[in-house]
Amino acid sequence: MSKALLNHVRVRGIKTIVPDRFIDIDDEIEYFGNNVRQLERAKKMVGFGRRPVVPEGVTVVDLCERAASDLLGELGTDRGGIDALILVNQSPDYIFPASSYILHDRLGLGEECAVFDVGLGCSGYVYGLWLAHSLIASGASTRVLLVAGDAASTHADPRNRLYYPLFGDAASATLLEHEPGDNPAWFALGARGAGWDKIVAPAGGRRLPIRKDMCDVEVRDAAGNVWHPWDGIIRGMDVFNFTMEVAPANIRELLLFAGIGMEEIDFFALHQANRQIVEAIAAKTGIPKEKTTWETFSRYGNNSTTSVATVLCDQRDARPKLGRCLLSAFGVGLSWGAAVVGLEGCHNGGIGLLAAPAGLPAREDQVEGWIRHFKGEKR
């Protein structure tokens, strides 16, 4: 497991944005056979509630732009002083260029700013913090804007009840700066590439490009869930067993590495996979119930890449001072990571809503525009 102690970095602020369109599980009772008892059982066990979902035409970049703009405005930050932009994202606008370059343009950041994407899911926010801390601690950067987001709802058919009800769409922005004083952060990261196919979207990349031969492919499993070749597939029991194996051990190993006791952590922000998983990790690790939560999942769903950031922002009213936090995430890759970060004095911008912009181009207009572009005409 990769471990690091990184110092002289301050987390200035954090902000999360979700679309203002929500789906409530109570409105999907038909998928539970119109059985109220079955629906209530699922709500109690899994933690289903409501989840934000992007409308057609709104992407992760739109959410990220709003999160970053709001945060920088709330902090009064000079955008010209940002010398690195990291975007953690597995729902890109295009195969290339990386979405971070579109975001760089929209935010009006300077040309001296280093810009790159990190293609990672549920553990992505912790990995992103590790990267941002590493850049600043090494002296390579002094002010890093870390943006993380996913539109995970777009990776499934609404009729797929194994996948679709779990995920909500969101993006977060976190600003980190050089801190002359002592402010250590500890990280412990791991990977199991042998499990890459446990959470996978088979089609859409270069290994299996989307072609006419698969456009009409629609598979129904024994339970009636609908799948397409480009949808996300999760081997649920395999992922659960993996999580129970690595997440508690990762947390314990990190605390041992940092020389910090459980009682010295003010809040544990655990990836909101679902209620059952969060509670199982907390119980196996010995985390006091009052120091963690699964309820962010009930309010916003599993936000994938930015789930941990959503948990932190969701605590704005309950915990005005976040203090020393332990962050834990796990998932696609397979990957996992945990961090102990001091968030004393960190601005918590909470969770804001993004309304769909007016005048979004229709899909057919976008297609026609790119056809003109291929011909060398004005798009």
Instruction: Enumerate the active-site residues.
Output: 122, 271, 302
> Tokens in use for 268?
């544990």
Torsion of CA 248, 250, 256, 262, to 10 degrees: -40
Q: How many CB atoms lie within 10 A of CB 146?
A: 26
CA distances from 305 to 12, 62, 120 (A): 20, 15, 7
Residues in CB range of 128: below 8 A, 6 or more apart: 86, 88, 118, 120, 146, 148, 174
Strands 267-270 and 324-331: parallel
> Tokens in use for 342?
């001091």
Assess contact for 98 and 80: CB atoms under 8 A: no
What's the per-residue H, E or C state across 269-318?
EECCCCHHHHHHHHHHHCCCHHHCCCHHHHHHCECHHHHHHHHHHHCCCC
Alpha carbon distance 111, 82 (integer Å): 10
> Tokens in use for 87?
């975007």
Alpha carbon distance 175, 81 (integer Å): 11
Alpha carbon distance 20, 90 (integer Å): 21
Q: Is the peptide bond before 334 cis (omega within 30 degrees of 0)?
A: yes
Beta bridge partners of 10: 177
Helix, strand, or coil (residue 332): coil
Assess contact for 337 and 4: CB atoms under 8 A: no
